[in-house]
Amino acid sequence: MLWLLVLGLIVACALLFQRLQRAEERLSHLEERQDEQAWRILALAGTEAASAPQPSEPAPPELDSEPSPQTPAVTLRRLEEPAEVFDPGPPEPEQQPEPSAATGPTVEPATARFRFDFEEIFGRRLPIWAGGITLAVAGVFLVRYSIEQGLLTPTVRVALSFLFGTGLLASAELAYRFEDRVRDERVRQALAGAGLATLYAAFYLAGTQYALIGQTFAFLGLAGVTALAIFLSYRFGLPSAVLGLVGGFAAPALVGGEDANLPMLALYLALVTGGLTQTANRQHRSWLGLGALAGGLGWGALLLLGGDYAFADILALGLYFIVLGTLVPALLEIERLEQPIRLAAAGLAGLQLAVLIDAGGYQPLAWGLYMLLGAALAWFGWRRPDMRAGSTMAAVIGIVLLQLWPSPEPVSFALVAASLAALFAAVPLAQLRWKDGGALEALSVAGVALAIGLVTLWTFETFDRDALRLWEGFGLIALAALPAAAALVLWERKVKGELAANLASASLLAFLASVCLLPDPAMPFAASAIATGLAVLLRERAKDSRSLLALLWMGAIGTFLTLPISDARLTEIETLFEGLGEASILSFLRWLAVALPFAVMAFFGAAGRRRAVAEFLAGLILFAALAQVLSPIVLVWVAAALVVGLCIGLPERSFAALALIACIALWALSPIGEWLSGATMALGSEPMLVTDLPRLREVLGFILPLAIALGTVRVQLPAFSKRGLPLFWMALPPALLVVHTLFKQLFRIDSLPHFADMGLTERTVWQALLLCIGWAVWARLNDRVFATLFAAASLAHFLWFTVLLHNPLWDHQAVGSVPIANLAFAAYAVGIAALLSARRWWPEWRRFTDSVTMVLATLGAMTLLRQGFAGTFLDTLPMSQTEDLLRSFVGILLAVAFLLIGSARGERLWRVGSLVLMTGTVLKVFIVDTAGLEGLLRIASFVALGASLIGIGWFYSRQLKAVPAEQ
C-alpha cells in the first residue's frame, strides 16, 4: 500500500504540472490580446489626431520598428507593489488612451502559444517536484535498508518514520514562513506531500505490518492524517488535497480486516466525503468534490458486497447512502453539469439503498431509511428546484423496488406504498400548488401515482380473478385523487401536456378502482362514464390541443377494448358475425355505453376529419349494440330506417349513416356474392336458373335495405360539394339485383328444357323492362345520363345473351310458331329501340347508333325469314335452296328500304348502308347462288338482280342530283 501512496503522489504532481501549464498558456493568450488592443487604441488615437487641423504639431516619438509588439510574460507569484510602467504616448495636450501593462518583477519575452523549452521544464519546474518524490522514496528505502541490515527494531523503524514525516511537514512550514527567501511555493508543497505520504506509511506499518498498535488506533491515525491533509491543503495547496483524497479513501483498505465495524466505517467515510467536499468548495476545486463523491459512492458499493447485515449495519449504511444522495450533492459547488451530477448521485445512492433493502429482506428499518432518503430529497427540492430531479430518480427506484418485493404483508405494503406516494407524489403536488412547480412535478404526480397503483394490482394478482377487492379499490381511489388535484391546479394555468398526463393518470386509476369494486360485466359502464366525462370536460380545450385530443381518443378506444376483455367467451363478438342467438339487454347496454364517448366527441367536435371518424365509429358500435337484441334481417331494416332518419333529421351527420350502411353491406355480402356467382356463370353461356339465385328472403332482407340506404344518404364532403355528395348512383347495382331476382321469379326457369322454351321470352321482357326504366328516368328526372345507362344495359344484355350466346339461329331457343309476330321480332325490336333511344338522347352518337341499327335490322330480317321455314326452333331444320335465294331477295329489299330512309331523312349514312348491303347481296348472288342454280332459276335470279341494280342506280342518281351538298 506504501507504493500506492507513492504512485498517488506522482500522479498528483503530474496533474499539478498540467494545470500549471494550462494556466500559463491561458495567461499568455490573455496578455497577447491585451497588448493587441492597446496598439489598436494607439493607432486609432493617432489617426484622429492627424485628421484634426492644427497650426503646429510636434513630431511624435518613433515607435518600435518591429512588426508585432512583444508580449510580456508574467510569473505566477503575486507582488505586493505594482511595477512602474513607462507611458509611450505622444506629448500632446489632449489625453490619449494608453495600453495597460501587466505588473511583475520579471518580464521575459514569450509567445502566445506554448513552446517546448527543455531548460524551462527540466531545469526549473520538474526538479522541485522530483525532489519531493525522491525524499518520499528515500524514506521508503531507508526503512527497507534498516530492515535488511537488522539495524533497527520495528518500533524504532516506525518511530523514525513518524519523525521523518513530521520533519518533512516542519520543513514545509518553514518554507512557507520564509517564502521571501525560498521564492517558490512548490518547495513547501513537495515537502508537505512527502511528509503526509510518510505519515500514512508510518501508521500503516504500525498497525498492519508490525501490529504495534491495534487496527482501531491505526485507523484513527490514518483518519487523523487525512484530516491533517485536508487542513494543510488550505495552507500548502493542491498536493495536500490530493493526498487527502487518495489517503482518506485508501485508509480503510490499509487497515481493513474481516471483522470490520460497518457503522464506524460508514461514519468515517461520510466525514471524509463531507470534509473533502467542503474543502473543494472553499478552494474552488470542483474536481476534488467530484472525486470525493465518487469515492464515497465507490466505497458504498464495496460495503454492500458483505451481506448478512445486522440492525446497526443497516442503519449506518442507510444513513451513509442518504448523506451521499442528498447532503453531499446539495453542498457540492460545481460549475458545469450540475443537474446531471446531482441526478446521478441521487440515483446511485438510491440504487445502493435499494440493494441494501433487498439484501436485508425488506425490513421496515431499511424501508424507513429509504423514506428518509426521499424525505431529504423532498426537503432539499422544496428549497432548491435544481435538486428535484434527484427526487424523481429516487421515486423510480423506489417503485421498482416495491414491485420486486416478494410476498409482502398487505399492511406493510400499504404503508410503504402510501409513504412513496406521499413523498414522491404529494410533495410534487404541493410544489405545484404553493411553489414554482413545473412540468417535472406535474409528470411526477401523474407517473408516481399510476405506477404505484399498477404495482399494487400486479403484486396482489388483482387482474387474475373477478372478485371484490375492496382495499385495493379504495387505495386506487386515494391514489387517483393526487393526479386529479394536480389536474385541478393545472387547469387554471392552461397548460396542455401536463394536464393531459394527470387527467390520464387519474382516469386510469379510477377505472382500475372500478375493476376492483365492480363485476367484470360492468367494466364498459365505468370506462364509458370516465371517457364521456372527459369528453364533456374537455370539449373546448381539446379543439386546439393535440395532447388533450389524444387523451379523449385513448379513453374512447380504451372503453371499446373493455368489451372483449370483460366478455370471456366472446359471445357478443360471435353474435356480430353469426346473428342473434338469444337477446341480451345487458349486452345491448354494454355496447351502447361504449358508443357514448364517440358520440359525445362527434357531437361537440368541430366539422372535420376527427368528427367524421368519431361519427363513423359511433355508428359502427351502435349497429353492434342493436345486433345484441335484434335478428339479422330486423337489424338491417332498423339500421336502414336509422339511415333514412339521419338523412332527413340530421343530414350533416352523414358519416354515422355511412357507418350503418357499411354494416348493412357486410350482411348483404353473402347474397350478393351468391348472385354474382350465378351471373358470372351466365356470362360464360351457362344459363342462370332460378335455383342459382340467392333466397328471396335474403335479397329482400339484406340487399333491398342496402339499396334504400344508399339511395337516401348524402355524404358531407365540403372539399367536393357544399350540398353533399349523393350516393344514389351506388344504389343502382343492388337495386337492379333486387329487381332482377324478383323478375326471375315470374318465369321461374329451373331447368335447361325450361330455359329452351322460355329463355328468349325472359330475356326480351327483361330487356324491355330496362329500357322502360330508362325512359321513366328520362321522363321523370330529365337526366339523359342515367336514362342512357338503363338503355345501354338493355342493349348490352341483348347483344351478349341474345345475339351472341343464345341466338336462336344456332342455339336451341324457342321463338314462337307465328311468322313475323314472334319473339325474334320482339327481341330485335327492343334492341333497335334501345339504339334509337340513345340516338335521341345523344344526337352526337347518330353515326354509331344508325350503323348498329342497320346491322341488327339485317340480322333480324334473316332470323324472321328463317323462322318462316323452320318454325319455333330455328336450329332444327337445314336451310333450303329457296330460303337461300330469299335471303338475297330480302337483302335487296332491305337495301332499298335503307335507301328510302336515307333519302327521306336526308342522311347519307343510310344511303351508304344501302350500298354496302346491296354490294354484299350482289356478291352473294354471283358467288354463292349461281353456283347452285341451273336453267330458268339461274336466269330469273340474274334478271331480278339486274333489274334491282338498275332501279337502285337510277333512284340513287336522282337523289344525288336532288342533294347538291354532302350531308
Is the pLDDT score of 594 beyond 90? Answer: yes
Q: How does the average pLDDT of the chain come out, rounded?
A: 77
- The mean per-residue pLDDT over the stretch 47-55 comes to 52
Per residue in 708-736, pLDDT (tens digit) is 999 888 887 655 445 567 777 888 899 99
* Calpha distance 703→669 (Å, rounded): 8
Please state at what angle helix 286-303 crosses helix 311-322, rounded to 10 degrees.
Answer: 160
pLDDT digits (tens, 9 = 90+) for 130-168: 665 666 566 666 656 666 666 666 777 677 777 777 776
CA-derived radius of gyration, the chain: 53
Q: What percent of the chain has pLDDT over 70?
A: 67
- Of 673-677, 929-933, 952-956, which gets the smallest average pLDDT? 929-933
Give the SS3 label for residue 725.
strand
Q: Is the pLDDT reported for residue 285 higher than 90?
A: no
Strands 725-726 and 108-110: unpaired
Dump pLDDT digits (tens) for 823-880.
999 999 999 999 999 999 999 999 999 999 999 999 999 999 999 888 899 888 888 8
Looking at the chain, the whole-number percentage of residues with pLDDT higher than 90 is 32
Q: Report residue 8's pLDDT band, with 50, 70 and 90 as the boundaries.
A: low
pLDDT at 343 over 80: no
Asked whether the beta carbons of 944 and 889 are under 8 A apart, the reply is yes
Please give the pLDDT value at position 170.
76
Res. 930 pLDDT band, cuts 50 70 90:
low
For residue 692, count CB atoms less than 10 angstroms from its CB and return exposed for 0-12, middle for 13-18, buried for 19 or more.
middle
Phi-psi region of 695 (alpha: psi -120 to 50; beta: other; left: phi over 0): beta
pLDDT tens digits along 400-458: 888 888 888 889 999 999 999 999 999 999 988 888 788 888 999 999 999 999 999 88
On whether the CB atoms of residues 800 and 807 are closer than 8 A, the answer is: no
Q: Is the sign of the CA dihedral 959, 961, 966, 967 positive or negative?
A: negative
Q: Which is more confident, 511 or 921?
A: 511
Under 8 Å between Cβ of 651 and 643:
no
CA distance 267 to 320: 7
Q: Yes or no: say if 279 and 265 are a contact pair by the CB < 8 Å rule.
A: no
Of 243-257, 479-493, 598-612, where does mean pLDDT reach its minimum?
Answer: 243-257
What DSSP element (H or E) covers 714? strand 714-715
pLDDT at 17: 54
pLDDT confidence band for 952 (50 / 70 / 90): low
Supply the pLDDT for residue 308: 65
Instruction: Write phi, then psi, for 36 (nearest 5 degrees).
Output: -65, -40
pLDDT greater at residue 459 or residue 145? 459
Cell of 164: 521523518
Which stretch, 34-43, 295-304, 383-392, 757-766, has highest mean pLDDT? 757-766
Residue 68: pLDDT band by 50, 70, 90 thresholds? very low
* pLDDT-wise least confident of 225-234, 563-572, 686-695: 225-234
Is it the case that residue 886 has pLDDT exceeding 50? Answer: yes
Q: Side-chain half-sphere of 597: how many Cα atoms within 13 Å?
A: 29
Distance separating alpha carbons of residues 139 and 148, to the nearest angstrom: 14
What's residue 31's pLDDT? Answer: 75
pLDDT of residue 65: 40
**pLDDT computed for residue 126 by the predictor:** 55
| Tens digit of each residue's pLDDT (9 = 90 or more) over 545-591 | 889 999 999 999 999 999 988 887 788 888 888 877 678 899 999 99
DSSP 467: S
